[in-house]
Amino acid sequence: MSESPATLPTDKELVLRVIPMPSDVNASGDVFGGWVMAQVDLAGAVLPARRAQGRIATIAVKEFVFKQPVRVGDLLSFYAEIIHLGRSSMTVDVAVYSQPLHDAKRVLKVTEAVLTYVAVDEQGRPRPLPPV
């Protein structure tokens, strides 16, 4: 994987920032991809939870392509945007960028994913989104 400089997006909302810790790494010393995926799911849920005004559930993840490894101590920034609204579902694009804490000007795009969430009632059944 080669490092391609990136710039932080201005068309998406910053929804989460996190620093991976030593307990989040694999045997090679890189942060587990699954850990990053879990953070993407958390970040992706922020805007749909606001829009749904209640419970939501993740129902689909389109794909993850990791462009860069993540290191312990990198500052990860998660940017999200709702790209589709259905009757009860919302599709969100989440982009992840890393910045070494000692070099905030060095920005690398780590991954991007498209996730779908659905508004659910207390029994976990789909419910319509409230009017805007």
Residue 3 covered by a domain: no
Show the domain range for 20.
13-119
Residue 130 covered by a domain: no
Residue 77 covered by a domain: yes
CA separation, residue 42 to residues 94, 105, 120 (Å)? 10, 26, 17
pLDDT tens, position by position, for the chain (132 residues)?
557 778 999 999 999 999 999 999 999 889 999 999 999 999 999 999 999 999 999 999 998 889 999 999 999 999 999 999 999 999 999 999 999 888 878 999 999 999 999 999 999 999 999 998
Q: How far apart are CA 73 and CA 121, in angstroms?
A: 39
pLDDT of 2 reads: 58
Residue 69 covered by a domain: yes
CATH code of residue 50:
3.10.129.10
Predicted TM-score (pTM) of this structure:
0.92
Token digits for 112?
């991007």
Residue 124 covered by a domain: no
Residue 21 covered by a domain: yes
Q: What is the CA radius of gyration of the chain?
A: 16
Token digits for 121?
């009632």
Number of domains, the chain: 1
Q: How far apart are CA 71 and CA 73, in angstroms?
A: 6
Residue 70 covered by a domain: yes
pLDDT of 121 reads: 96
Residue 114 covered by a domain: yes
